[in-house]
Homo-oligomer: A and B are copies of this chain.
Amino acid sequence: MGFSLPRGFRLAGVSCGIKRNRDCPDLTLIVGDEPLVAAGVYTTNLICAAPVVVDRQRTPSDAIRVVVANSGNANACTGERGLRDALDMAGDAARACGAATEQALVLSTGIIGEYLPMEKIRNGIAQAAAQLGCDEASFVNAARGITTTDRQHKVAAREVACEGSVLRIAGMAKGAGMIGPKMATLLAVLMTDAPLAPPEAQEVLQEAVDASFNCISVEGHTSTNDTVLLLASGKACQRPLPARHRALFQQALSDTCVELARLIPDDGEGASHLITIDVSGCATPDDARRIAETIANSALVKTAIAGADPNWGRIVSAAGYAGVPFDPNRLSLFLNQRPLFRNGQPVPFDAQDVSDAIRNNRETHVDLRLEMGVSRIRFWTSDLTADYVKLNADYHT
């Protein structure tokens, strides 16, 4: 790992029997030595899970002591009982850390529509509370405890020098499927020891999320549970951060989020390619986002990349149905740096060369240029393979 955790946090991840695989933790605790500043960004899905309802009410805050998370069950579409369960789960975690009931946040991810196994969760919380640590193993176990179909846990970290001190940022994320244009079945927790006031935490988190977790897609299905939390202990130095260091901190936080976000489509269910989509020359930032999202969610684009097929008509036609006005005669497309379509005309190209360039690289670069303005976006998605279908046809039963 090679980095130090932000000061003021202890973590644990344990297996309490929610997931079938007992080798992987399914319950995570993140505890602040003292009250933490906390901010959250949540799913835009109207059908949101019970833990999202709870956390939305409790953030931003300057008094959070603990975050409890489980994987294997999303506690979504579970009605009033689900809400009671989420509140009970938060309450149990708070008590286990000697905090007041309202000082806990709660995260869940996994199957939708089943009630939480509350006894397992209670046992898991007790077990985790007894194992809290601030070493690397504790951090990794905590990160593993929020994974579901992820092939591996996802962590990232940055440091920012600040007047003789060092601000530390460490983050964990999960997600591999149900990853939609506005966040994903994605949980992420960013921890820092930077000193932030609650509105400031909310602001830096939103900016970081917009450029990262809001720019990824696996299949465009916005989940019920998406949550990104920022927890700040303030242990690194005195508040407030000088303006210059605030900017450096923002950059480092955004970079951490981008690093975590990219890991998600890279680990997309069944994915054989991470696809980076640059859309530039747009009239507005929203135009750029809509075109990038439409390309990222096209099953035809994603299957073509899976098959190393330079079928660029699928990319260009996806841009055409994004609902964004542009001049097709100024449109150009590059695939892995090779021009395939320029100013509305096909460019003769060596299909075998382009196909090889897709097949022989884990990453594919789609570069679409509109020449309608100066707005741009970078977006990430995964390709669509037969393995994705197999994984998702067999997930439940």
Residue from B46, B114, B307, B320 within 8 A of A394 (CB atoms): B307
- For chain A, the bracket of interface size reads 35 or more
Digit string of A312-326 for contact with B (CB within 8 Å is 1, else 0)? 111011111100111
Digit string of A277-306 for contact with B (CB within 8 Å is 1, else 0)? 000000000000000000001111001101
**Residue in B closest to A342 when the chains form the complex, CB atoms:** B79
Docked complex Cα distance between A304 and B324 (Å): 32
Docked complex Cα distance between A350 and B115 (Å): 16
**Residue in B closest to A318 when the chains form the complex, CB atoms:** B221
Taking a contact as CB atoms under 8 Å apart, the answer to whether B397 and A386 are in contact is no
Chain B residues near A45 (CB-CB < 8 A): 317, 320-321
- CB of A254 within 8 Å of the partner chain: no
Evaluate whether A392 and B316 lie within 8 angstroms (CB atoms) in the complex, with A46-B328, A298-B221 already known: no
Taking a contact as CB atoms under 8 Å apart, the answer to whether A46 and B396 are in contact is no
Q: Which of A304, A316, A320, A393 has the most CB of B within 10 A?
A: A393
Taking a contact as CB atoms under 8 Å apart, the answer to whether A300 and B112 are in contact is no
Residue from B113, B300, B307, B329 within 8 A of A312 (CB atoms): B113
**Residue in B closest to A386 when the chains form the complex, CB atoms:** B386
Taking a contact as CB atoms under 8 Å apart, the answer to whether A321 and B113 are in contact is no
Taking a contact as CB atoms under 8 Å apart, the answer to whether B47 and A299 are in contact is no
- CB of A60 within 8 Å of the partner chain: no
**Residue in B closest to A340 when the chains form the complex, CB atoms:** B113
Residue from B112, B113, B300, B351 within 8 A of A177 (CB atoms): B300
Docked complex Cα distance between A320 and B47 (Å): 5
Within 8 A of B (CB), among A317-356: 317-321, 324-326, 328-329, 331, 341, 344-346, 351, 355
Chain B residues near A317 (CB-CB < 8 A): 45, 47, 76-77, 112, 178, 221-224
Chain B residues near A113 (CB-CB < 8 A): 312-313, 316, 341, 346
Taking a contact as CB atoms under 8 Å apart, the answer to whether B384 and A389 are in contact is yes
Q: How many chain copies? A: 2
Evaluate whether A306 and B389 lie within 8 angstroms (CB atoms) in the complex, with A317-B77, A321-B45 already known: yes
- CB of A308 within 8 Å of the partner chain: yes
- CB of A123 within 8 Å of the partner chain: no
Chain B residues near A220 (CB-CB < 8 A): 297-299
**Residue in B closest to A48 when the chains form the complex, CB atoms:** B320
Taking a contact as CB atoms under 8 Å apart, the answer to whether A307 and B77 are in contact is no
Chain B residues near A390 (CB-CB < 8 A): 386
Chain B residues near A80 (CB-CB < 8 A): 345
Evaluate whether A397 and B112 lie within 8 angstroms (CB atoms) in the complex, with A344-B79, A389-B386 already known: no
Within 8 A of B (CB), among A70-99: 74, 76-80
Chain B residues near A312 (CB-CB < 8 A): 112-113
- CB of A234 within 8 Å of the partner chain: no
> Can you list 23 A-B contacts (CB < 8 A)?
A46-B320, A47-B316, A47-B328, A47-B331, A77-B317, A77-B344, A77-B346, A111-B311, A112-B316, A113-B346, A182-B321, A220-B298, A221-B298, A223-B317, A224-B320, A299-B392, A300-B392, A308-B397, A311-B395, A351-B397, A355-B397, A384-B389, A389-B389
Instruction: A47-B319, A311-B395 are known; give 13 further A-B pairs, CB within 8 A.
Output: A45-B320, A46-B324, A47-B331, A77-B316, A112-B312, A178-B314, A221-B314, A299-B299, A300-B392, A304-B392, A304-B396, A306-B393, A307-B392
* 7 A-B pairs with least C-beta separation: A112-B313, A307-B393, A47-B320, A303-B392, A386-B386, A222-B321, A79-B345
